[in-house]
């Protein structure tokens, strides 16, 4: 069972986060102060830590993070913050954070990002061929095949597919796609990514094949082998 430590001083918010992660199938523990978080994280092994940037009692989120990293606790850490400025994000990541999420956020965004963080640790990055069902991506030749049928993709479509193929069966939100594939960071609120995904989906499903990219209610996508 995947255990996640949620460090958040506001009890109500902590409970909401815990509920969202619990519904996703994680086992959740909460800490409300920096000291509490340090004690728990050092004593116990967690698969991931959700860490609020602002904490009461002298030890703030970044201090907790750098202390944990100093003590060789290497669980992936997702920083939560009400501060959205770029340099805040940079400071958070530099202190050892793996991802940064600005409040308010959707529970889907949080669980999807934690899922990716967990999987990033377990899947080696050295593969040359990605396979989901009858869909294959040759990373060396940058070639996409479904069954014995080669699919022509635009460079951006290829990058979208590659990202989805690296996380099969996981929810990937639009924001994650935008950050990963276009490398710009802001809250994209248009439906442009949906249109890109629509085009990609049509190319993959050409010839009446069963769909592999599914829309997740809310704001995400999931790539699955057809049953």
* Positions in the binding site for another protein (CB under 8 A): 84-87, 90, 104, 106, 156, 182, 184-187, 189-192, 195-196, 198-199
Smallest distance from another protein to CB 105, Å: 10
Smallest distance from another protein to CB 178, Å: 9
Tokens of 68: 């944990």
Smallest distance from another protein to CB 144, Å: 18
For another protein, the closer of residues 128 and 183 by Cβ is 183
Strand order from edge to edge, sheet including 129-132: 129-132, 135-138, 143-146, 149-151
The CA–CA distances, whole Å, from 34 to 65, 74, 98, 102 equal 9, 17, 18, 19
Distance CA 109, CA 116 (A): 11
For another protein, the closer of residues 87 and 227 by Cβ is 87
Distance CA 52, CA 92 (A): 11
For another protein, the closer of residues 5 and 181 by Cβ is 181
Smallest distance from another protein to CB 138, Å: 24
For another protein, the closer of residues 5 and 17 by Cβ is 17
For another protein, the closer of residues 45 and 202 by Cβ is 202
For another protein, the closer of residues 36 and 157 by Cβ is 157
For another protein, the closer of residues 5 and 193 by Cβ is 193
Count helices and strands in the chain by DSSP H and E runs:
8, 12
Smallest distance from another protein to CB 161, Å: 15
Tokens of 128: 């040359």
Residue bearing tokens 């890109």:
196
Smallest distance from another protein to CB 106, Å: 8
Smallest distance from another protein to CB 39, Å: 34
Residue bearing tokens 């990219």:
213
Helix axes 61-70, 34-43, angle to 10 degrees: 20
Q: What would the 3-class secondary structure string for 70-116 be?
A: HCCCCCCEEEEECCCCHHHHHHHHHCCCCEEEECCCCHHHHHHHHHH
């Amino acid at each position: 069972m995947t255990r996640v430590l949620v460090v958040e001083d506001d009890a109500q918010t902590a409970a909401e986060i815990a509920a969202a992660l619990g519904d996703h199938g994680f086992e959740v523990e909460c800490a409300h102060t920096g000291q509490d978080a340090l004690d728990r994280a050092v004593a116990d092994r967690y698969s991931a830590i959700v860490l609020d940037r602002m904490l009461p009692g002298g030890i703030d989120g970044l201090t907790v993070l750098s202390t944990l990293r100093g003590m060789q606790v290497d669980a992936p850490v997702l920083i939560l913050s009400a501060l959205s400025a770029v340099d805040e994000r940079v400071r958070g990541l530099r202190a050892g954070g793996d991802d940064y999420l600005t409040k308010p956020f959707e529970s889907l965004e949080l669980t999807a990002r934690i899922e990716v963080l967990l999987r990033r640790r377990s899947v080696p990055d050295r593969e040359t061929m990605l396979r989901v069902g009858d869909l294959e991506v040759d990373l060396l030749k940058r070639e996409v095949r479904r069954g014995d049928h080669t699919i022509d993709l635009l460079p951006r479509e290829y990058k979208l597919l590659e990202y989805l193929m690296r996380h099969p069966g996981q929810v990937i939100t639009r924001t994650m796609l935008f950050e990963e594939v276009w490398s710009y960071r802001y809250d994209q609120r248009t439906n442009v990514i949906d249109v890109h995904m629509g085009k990609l989906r049509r190319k993959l499903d050409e010839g009446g094949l069963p769909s592999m990219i599914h829309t997740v209610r809310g704001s995400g996508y999931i790539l699955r082998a057809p049953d």
